[in-house]
Structure formats: structure tokens, C-alpha cells
Chain A
Amino acid sequence: MNLTLHVWRQEGPTSTGRFETYQARSVSEHASFLEMLDLVNEGLTRSGKEPIAFEHDCREGICGSCGMVINGVPHGPSARIATCQLHMRLFKDGDVIWIEPWRATAFPIIKDLVVDRSALDRIINAGGYISVRTGSAQDANAIPIRKQDADLAMDAAVCIGCGACVAACPNASAMLFTAAKVSHLGLLPQGQPERYTRVVDMIAQHDREGFGTCTNHGACQEACPKGISVDFIARLNRDLLVASWKAAEPKAARMGGHG
């Protein structure tokens, strides 16, 4: 099939970007969307132009590197997949495709379709972990966990950190990302000691990064390649409410007292 692409090109973080138009010719319906872009990039390179910069790595939907807004939809028209899993059989000959980077204040553009998502790492730094020293764990089966709880924790833990939830949200909120980690850890017995300080600290960092607030649009859930439910945001809000009742302990005390 032959396609017309309008692709966002931007040389650097401070340059002005613009859409450029390319023709993708003789694309196989079995090719992936990224393989289609590979083809365009090979052509650009041969003609001495700079290929389109886009992030990608595993190309099987788990590393979370790739992500672009395709015809206005993060990760494109197919539900519950990352861009790398999108296949050209969903398109037809003559289609016009608009390709843009994630757009959010907290995700500055580095080049073309590549954005800086380090804000998500800093949300994890603020408390997205269980503080356990290497080698200090007891036998794994000493903590029985109800299968239903373990399964629900896994439903939240599958987040790949791609940022599609932010790109889809009209407020550019990273609440689904944050809620997924808060819920994953908060559902498990191991995560209880830090449960309420974790949610407070992660939300504070989320807000400092310039992500917007959640106003329950639910666009994040639709865009999430792993189908993470907005129910986890409700869970986060409940934990946040409980945390506001509990007097938050000073941070130094939580770090173990000898820091």
C-alpha cells in the first residue's frame, strides 16, 4: 500500500517544529508501523536527509520506549497495544497519517518524536518502591498473599511507563501512571509500612513536575497499552484521603533513622 505521512519534525528542544510530508510506498500489510517508518527513514538517509528520530527498542510492547500520537490517538487506532505492536494491516492504501510526539509540559521534546520522560522516573524516586535491603528478606512463602490480591497488584504492575496516559489526558496528568505504582505496592502486604507516605510523596512529586490534575476523563485508560484501569486512580485517591487523616511522619524517620 502507499501512504501519505505528515510527521512532526523538530531539530532540538528549543527549535521551532513543523509537520513535514513524506510518501511511504509499497508498504506490506504485514509490516509493523515502526517497520513502515524504518522504510521511510532508509529512503531519507539515502537521499542525504536526516531520518525521523523516534524512540523504540524491544519492538514487542514491553520496554515502553516507543510512543507517538497517530492521527490524534496515542499509540494509534488499535486498543491495548504500544506503537511497536501496531501493524499496517489496520491501514489501507491511500491513507493519510498524522504522526506527532507526546505533547505535555512535563515531557519536553528532545528531537522530532522523541520526548524527555524523566519526570516519570522522579515520581518513582519519590516513593515508588518498597524499602528492602538486599539480603534481608525472609523466605518468599512466609508471606502468603491472596491470589486475588496478587492478581490485582499485577494488573497495576504491568505499566510500561510509556507516557501514553499523559499524552491522552486533556490535563496532561500522570495520575494513571502514579496510581498504578501506588496500587501495585499498596495492595501487597510488603507495601503496607510505607503505603500512606508513599502516596503523599509521589503525588507531591507528580505535581512538582508540572503534570496536570486528574478530572476523571478516563482517556488515559483508553490509551493505555496495558489496559490499566482508572479504578486504580480511585484507589490512589482513597489512600490519599486516609493519608491526610494520618499525621504524615517526618521523612527522616521513615529512612531508618541513621541517615
Chain B
Amino acid sequence: MKLVNPANKRKYEVIIVGTGLAGAAAAATLGELGYRVKCFTYHDSARRAHSISAQGGINAAKNYQGDGDSVLRLFYDTVKGGDFRSREANVHRLAELSVNIIDQAVAQGVPFAREYGGLLANRSFGGAQVSRTFYARGQTGQQLLLGCYQALQRQVALGTVTLYTRHEMMDLVVVDGVARGIVTRNLTTGKVESHAGHAVVLATGGYSNVFFLSTNAKACNVTATWRAAKRGAGFANPCFTQIHPTCIPSAGEYQSKLTLMSESLRNDGRIWVPKKQGDTRAAGDIPEDDRDYYLERFYPSFGNLSPRDISSRRAKEMVDGGHGVGPLRNGVFLDFRHAIERLGADTIAERYGNLFQMYEEITGENPYKVPMRIYPAPHYTMGGLWVDYDLMSNVPGLFVLGEANFSDHGANRLGASALMQGLADGYFIAPLTVGHYLADVPRTPVSIDHPAFADAEREVKARTARLLAVNGSKTVDQFHIELGRLVWEKCGMTRDAAGLKEALAKIPDIRERFWKEVRVPGSSTNLNQSLEKAGRLADFLEFAEIMCWDALERDESCGAHYRSEHTHLDGEAKRNDDEFSFVSVWEHKGEGQDPVLHKEPLAFESVKPATRSYK
């Protein structure tokens, strides 16, 4: 690993897009090291990034419980949880760094839950048989993000980081094959601006909002990573999208997003459906003998703590089989009755109080009295821009961190691992690997004089003008809902070749109608939320295609990617290691052209790929 002389660090400018865990941690640390950092967020404040919504916790191989945890075990669980589709070396590094993250967060004042002796408390999470999850009530993401945010704001005050709030990245600028800057739009004034840097770091999150309804915040989008892909960065495993098993079921047509109920609830809640199809009795009227605790039945070892992909699919199977509960028969029960009897309502309130409160506000039902109703929802995307071990994409100088990259979770992410990865990337990996890259980059100042900047600005402005000029009759959301439904049905929890081909035929048609019929009111010179939404949707309408291409080409089932043609007799995903033990990397070839698939073979030296079993 090469180093940059401390006196030379200030001669390098680093652009960071996104202020979630990965972006804020990287910006704070790179600024602290002495680089000149420019950090961008489309929010009004760095504290609002979607990392803040993570509820349950963060994994670390501290083995504070003395229950047999180790770096090796966390590494193994993560590789297995990802159904052997992640890169071993990256995951091992992640497991090693997990312990440093907890130390760092505690030193910053993150108020993790503690035991009466004053030491840190842990809880269990899906896909693991040790208790290694650190948490701050049901607001772990919030507390970790505020730790990063405070570290970032400290650097802003010290002048090492310049923070641009309400600025959205609209394009990546590549000069002579090297990432040299970005074009942004000031969301308050509409001004399109260029920013140059010696390196560009994207930490812009995932693309679950391609489904329209997901647990992601409303503004989450694929624009930054998709724009980079259009400028030459490979997009890896776009079809690996995680459907979270414990969300509140949709209540009606007006639904704008889905709300997650932390997976940690499965520590004490038991999942069941009525044994009888179409049973309309209230939960309390269904006797024990008429209940099917199906996860405990299918997976006696892991039971209600089975991994997310498996738990989600089984829930869908139950609902599709006529066992759904609730007014729309679109959920399964998550029942705390036994836990309340065993531990008392106070203990349950201490563990999950804010989640129970949130559930009651949304549904009007009291989960201390009646079981929660849950159903799977799009939640996280394991796919993202391809990166090497240094988290650099195939475009030199372009680094990608956190959910925006593809590297650590394979085909399925385990609970409490997203926070771990975002912080490992941001605090501990990128600050060193960016320096390693910069050590070979000339220290001459960068400027926005190169014509590539002017070209990119012109394209951004033309696109904005075009969106405003369509003046059709349909709203942006109408198209987003149409796209979302199609992708959810054909490239959601289960997929097959016929459905994916159908989606690939229909997406260009939606896109074409969008550009002819959408109506974006207002102007481009002030705050215009319709215009922001329209630009993001335009990118989803392009991106959705490579997601379906990837799902079609990966003719096997693995983790969250479940092709109904490839299943074991018991319904579990059937992997095909002989043909598909690789990372799919998609190269954009231009408008109207089919993307090209490249393959990075996966070699497993420490962990032997085996059939994933949680029975």
C-alpha cells in the first residue's frame, strides 16, 4: 500500500458523493488525513441519508458473549449467507475490520445498548448462531450515522471538507479514461455546475426504488451509479436484490412506500399462518393446533431466525397458497404472545418499544395485544458498481463504497451487515486505498477546463430541458408505479425466463411513453421536486433493463435470486457452481444496444461452497 506524504495530501482534491455511513465516514477520515475533500448530498443536511433508517444493529466479531464467535466465523457466515457469490478476500477483510468499527463508534459517543455491568450488550440476528449484533434500541443506523455526521461536521468546521448540501450528482466526468470530476445540479437554484477532483468516490446507496414500493427512503435512486455505468464503469450483479421478510403489508392503492419492521423482532416473535386456507378468524380465535409456525417447521435449527431470502420466499409461498392474513390477505403473523408471557411486556417494550409504537401508528393495531402482520418488501441491493479489492471500479480514480458497490454480500446480505460494510468501507478501507491510488497521480491542480466537463454539463441541461418540455398528461409517479409493478412481478422474489423476457420487451415501451407523455410542471431554476423525481425515474427506466438481463443470464438460483426453473425438491434455491460461480459485470454499450456481460470468476480457497442449509 503506497502512502502520500502528509505535506502533499493537501494538494489532492477528493470528491465524495453521498453522506450516508460510507460517504460521511470516508469524507471525515480523508479530510482528517489532510486531503481536500468536497462532499455532496442531495439532502438539506448530511444527517438525513437513508443509513439513518437502519434499525436492528451492526455485526462485529467481538465475541463479547464468549459464545464461540470469531473473525473466521463471521467471515464464514457472511460468505455462506451470500450463497457463495461474494468475493472471499473482501468478506474476510470486512470481518476483520468489524471489531474496529465498534471501537470507533463507541469512542465517538455512539450510545450502544449496555448491560448493568456497564459493558456492551448484544442481540442475535438472522443467519447466525452467535450473538454478535450491537444495537442502540431500534435506531442503530441513526446513532451510527450521527456519529459519522458529527465527525464530518467537525471536519467541515476545520475547513478540510467542503460540504455541498442540496446538490445532486447528475453525471460523472471521465477524462482520458480516468475519473476526473462530476456535474451537479443545485436543487435550490437549478444551477448546473462542474467539480473536478483527483479521485471521485461514490457512496450513493442502492436501487431498491426501481420497484417503486420498497423500504428505501423516497429519494433513494440509481442515478449516480447508473450515470457512472454509462461512462464506462461495470455494473455487477444488478439482479441481486434483497427482499426483506418483515415489513408492514401494503394497505391500498395510495401506498407510497413500505415500512420495515426490524428483523431483530424475529428474536422474540414467532411467525405463523392459519393452517386452514382462507381462515378469516381473528388471530386470537385461532387455537394453537390450527396454527402453522412454518419457519420452525421447515428449519428447526434456525427457525424464526432463518436468513432473509429464505424467510421471504416462505412467506410468499404461504400467502400465495391462500394462508395470508389481514384485510387484504397479504401478510403472515409475527406473534409476541409467547415472548410477553415468558419475559413480560416491559422487557419486550425495552427491546422493541419504538418498533411497536411505529407499527401501531401505521396500522392502528396494538402488537402487544394482536400479532403483527408482516410481508416481504424490497429493501437492499447487493448488486452495484463493480470494484476491485481496493474498492476502485474499472474506471481508474472512481471508487465506490457501501451499498453502491457489489463486493461483500454475494447473492444475499445477512441482517446487521450493511452498517458494518458501509463503515468498514468508509472509515478503514477507502481512506487508505484512495491514498494508494493518489500516490501515483500527479499533484498538479485539477480544473474544469477540459471540454469533457462542458460536454457533460450541456447534456445534463439538455436532459432537464427535455423533461420539462414533454408537457404530457401523466405524472412521474404513474410511470414509476407501472415500472415498479412490472419489475416486482417479473424480477422480484421469484423469476423465470419467460417473465424476464416479457419484462425486457415491456420496459423500452414504458420508457418511450414516459418521454412522450410525462408531465413535469415548474421550471429548472428553482426547487422543483417533480423534476428531481422525473430525472431519477428516467435512469431507473434504463437501469431496469440490465437488472432483467442479469436475472435472465444467471440461469440458476442463488440467495435472493430465485429462478423458479432451478429449485431443489424441498423448494430451496438450487445453485449451479459449475456454470455460475462468477460475478456478472455488465458493460453499457450505448442507447439501444444490448449490454455486454463480463465474468469475474469466484475462487473459494478457505470456504468450500456447499448447499446452504439452515435446517
* Residues of A near any B CB (own CB < 8 A): 11-12, 28, 30-32, 34-35, 38-39, 42, 44-46, 48-51, 53, 55-65, 78, 80-81, 85, 87, 89, 110-111, 114, 116-118, 120-121, 124-126, 128-141, 143-147, 150-151, 153-154, 157-158, 160-161, 184-185, 188, 190-191, 255, 259
Contact = CB atoms under 8 A, between A and B. Distances in A.
B259 interface: yes
Interface in B140-186: 141-143, 146, 149-151, 153-154, 156-158, 165
Interface in B101-156: 102-109, 111-120, 136-137, 139, 141-143, 146, 149-151, 153-154, 156
B592 interface: no
Nearest to B256: A35
A60 B252 CA distance: 17
B43 A57 contact: yes
B431 A134 contact: yes
A143 to B, nearest CB: 7
A20 to B, nearest CB: 15
Nearest to B253: A28
Contacts of B45: 64, 117-118, 120-121, 161
B29 interface: yes
A147 B118 contact: yes
Select the residue from A31, A78, A125, A191 with max chain B CB neighbours within 10 A.
A125
Contact of B521 (A50, A85, A110, A136): A50
Select the residue from B32, B257, B477 with max chain A CB neighbours within 10 A.
B257
Select the residue from B102, B136, B217 with max chain A CB neighbours within 10 A.
B217
Contacts of B150: 124, 128-130
A134 B427 contact: yes
B389 interface: no
Contacts of A42: 475, 477-478
B519 interface: yes
Contacts of B32: 133-134
28 contacts: A38-B254, A38-B477, A46-B473, A46-B519, A50-B530, A57-B43, A57-B48, A59-B218, A62-B53, A62-B141, A87-B362, A121-B153, A130-B108, A132-B107, A134-B28, A134-B104, A137-B104, A137-B106, A137-B107, A138-B103, A140-B112, A141-B64, A147-B116, A147-B118, A150-B112, A154-B143, A190-B106, A255-B158
A125 B29 CA distance: 16
Interface residues of B, number: 83
Given A116-B44, A146-B118, A188-B109, 11 more contacts: A28-B252, A39-B254, A57-B218, A63-B52, A121-B46, A125-B156, A130-B107, A140-B112, A143-B106, A158-B137, A190-B106
B9 interface: no
Contacts of B519: 45-46, 48
A185 B218 contact: no
Nearest to B47: A161
A185 B150 CA distance: 11
A160 to B, nearest CB: 8
Nearest to A255: B158
A191 B157 contact: no
Given A141-B120, A145-B118, A184 B252 contact: no
A89 B146 CA distance: 33
B259 A60 contact: yes
A87 B25 CA distance: 35
Contacts of A62: 52-53, 139, 141-142
A179 B86 CA distance: 45
Contacts of B46: 121
A228 to B, nearest CB: 13
B50 A58 contact: yes
A151 B530 CA distance: 42
A139 B474 CA distance: 56
Given A121-B45, A134-B104, A184 B120 contact: no
Contact of A57 (B102, B137, B156, B219): B219
Contacts of B251: 28, 30-31
A114 B527 contact: yes
Contact of A35 (B62, B115, B254): B254
Nearest to B30: A134
